[in-house]
Amino acid sequence: MCFSGCGFVIICLMINVKKLNGADIVINAELIETLEATPDTVINLVTGNRLIVRDPVPDVVRKIMEYRTKINSERKVINPIEGFQRQ
């Protein structure tokens, strides 16, 4: 989820999940340590916080993969032989 024009560009670098009460919450995918598939999905963060969300584990994993794809696709690939001339 990306909110354009709001001044919060960092939101584009996070994932959106739904809490049990139906409220949307945006979390930093880099902080996710583990996911637990109990009757509800439990997201354990490296900070020690735990979030219980409605989204099933496969959906959260898909969102994390989409996030990682977006982050890695924007990275410029360095060509190690660019500018190299044989003598």
Q: Which tens digits make up the pLDDT trace of 35-86?
A: 999 999 999 999 999 999 999 999 999 999 998 888 777 666 677 776 667 7
| Cβ pair 18, 53 in contact under 8 A | yes
Confidence of residue 3 (pLDDT cuts 50, 70, 90): very low
| Cβ pair 15, 63 in contact under 8 A | yes
CA distance 19 to 5: 25
CATH number of the domain at 19-73, please? 2.40.50
Q: What is the pTM of this model?
A: 0.70
CA distance 55 to 10: 22
